[in-house]
Amino acid sequence: MARDIAATLVRAIARPDLADAIIGDLHERRAMLATTLGEAKASRICRSDVMRSLFALLAYGASRTLADDWLVSFVCAAVTCAFCVATIPLWGHLGMGGAGYHVLRLAIIGLVLGCIPRAATLSCIFLTLLIAVSDWTIDTRETGNGWRVLTEGHIYALVLQDALIMATMLVVLQVIRSIRALSSRLG
């Protein structure tokens, strides 16, 4: 029963081929240990191994999903933007509601997105679209706080400004990565 639960847990977390190899190893190890230590102690050792393995498999699975899955990267990027937008009402209270700070915030979003695996390789148009939605939300919130309502023309200007900032950030990140790759090759 315990053996089945361990196998099910490993299979639920690890990739099928890895899970099969791990479960096979645990069977083999338990059989080897049982000849010298007895069935009970062998089972206890293997159970502890499974529990520790689960943490490693869980962490590895999460990191791989983030690195391999475009959808996860998209969600990460969207959550980052959403977080930045959600904190917008705070900036005004802190005296950081002006255009300069808006540009600064976008630059920070660009840097954060650039650090998420794969997000940096998402198209600039997509990021601009994401930020344009953010700007539209900012506009609404600013209206709610009694600030000036932006006209449609301003929104387009903002989108263009965002596109330039996001593109700049992505280019800067790409240049930094290229320099690092070049220096490690030369070193």
Partner 1 sequence: MSRPNLGDFEHLVLLAVIRLADAGYGLAIRDEIVRRTERDISTGAVYTTLDRLERKGLIRSTIEQGTLARDNRVRRRYEISAAGREAVGAAQRDIRAMSRGLTFREEH
Q: Does 11 help bind partner 1 (rule: CB under 8 A)?
A: no
First to last CA, the chain: 55
Q: Does 83 help bind partner 1 (rule: CB under 8 A)?
A: no
Q: Does 4 help bind partner 1 (rule: CB under 8 A)?
A: no
Q: Which C-beta is closer to partner 1: that of 2 or that of 104?
A: 2
Helices and strands per DSSP (H, E), number in the chain: 8, 0
Q: Does 27 help bind partner 1 (rule: CB under 8 A)?
A: yes
Q: Which C-beta is closer to partner 1: that of 17 or that of 152?
A: 17
> Judged by CB under 8 A, which of 8, 12, 55, 151 binds partner 1?
55
Q: Does 24 help bind partner 1 (rule: CB under 8 A)?
A: yes
- Residue whose token pair is 């029963």: 1
Contact 66, 21 (CB under 8 A): no
Q: Which residues of 100-138 are buried (b: 16+ CB within 10 A; e: fewer)?
A: eebeebbeebbebbbebebbbebebeebbebbbebbeeb
Q: Which residues bind partner 1 (CB under 8 A)?
A: 10, 14-15, 17-18, 20-29, 31, 49-50, 52-57, 59-60, 181, 184-185
